[in-house]
Amino acid sequence: MLAGLPAVPRYRGRFAPSPTGPLHFGSLVAAVGSYLDARTQGGEWLLRMEDVDTPRNVPGAAEQILATLEAFGFAWDGPVLWQSQRAAAYGEVLDALRRAGQAYPCACSRKEIADSATRPAVDGGLAYPGTCRAGLPPGRAERAWRLRVAAGETAFVDRLQGRLAQLLEHDVGDFVLRRADGLFAYQLAVVVDDAAQGITDIVRGADLLASTPRQIWLQQCLGYLTPRYAHLPVAANAAGEKLSKQTLAPALAAGEAAAELVRALRFLGQPVPAELGRGRPADVWAWAGAHWQFAAIPRQRSISLPA
């Protein structure tokens, strides 16, 4: 290494399922894409259980997710990180943002926001109108804590989807860091954890594209480095709905691991031989490690599966 030049950080990626139900084919696509992007670049692949939204967690789902990943031949580096065990770390970051004047208390209920919002947000909700930005209204108590956003464009270039830009002040408004129920918001938890784990590359589903500028803004507020992003096309059903627990996506079956891996690879544009689906997961991974082509992944946000 030349003197005076910083070392290039080693690739460190992650897969971060939420234990709200078992893994399904859409989850598998994200796991396969992130895993192979890490492994074919000599990087690490970390596993995080994004269980910060504890009321939505299904008992036993986390353990089922880990067992499914093992049955499908995934091998992660280091211990699993559990967001439900990291409230102290999130609280320290929120306190720092408070002291810096970047976070403020909000007394608004959902109904009040719905009544006063003037435009929809990019993620399908409502853009926060800034009611409490200058201070809590008289006689009102804090419910949540929000992060101030600035005017101007927040943009990034996605490795698959190209350039994406948002005007956060208009498109989202000041967003929540700690909810009215006392739980920390996903946006805060994911940014803090990515920094704590030294994540350099994030490969995940395109359903999270709209939230990425918020995460980048928070990274900038905290002085964190911004990872590279690649948002894979999400798997949708014949009606165009993203596969999920809500759309009754079936759970992955361990006995069909090789066939499902082949299916996920083909979804991601890889010409894997169909006969490998009748073999062992190890044989599929061996082929994928030798033939993976990131450039072959479709540059789409969603792909509907045949009925």
The residues annotated with a catalytic role in the active site are 245
- CA atoms of 222 and 235, how far apart (whole Å): 33
Cβ(110)–Cβ(95) below 8 Å: no
- 187/69 Cα distance (integer angstroms): 25
Return all residues near 73 (Cβ < 8 A) that are at least 6 apart: 257, 261, 281, 282, 284, 285
What CA–CA distance (Å, rounded) separates 23 from 67? 10
Residues 231/161, Cβ–Cβ less than 8 Å: yes
Angle, alpha carbons 49-46-279 (nearest 5°)? 95
Q: Which two tokens stand for residue 20?
A: 């709200």
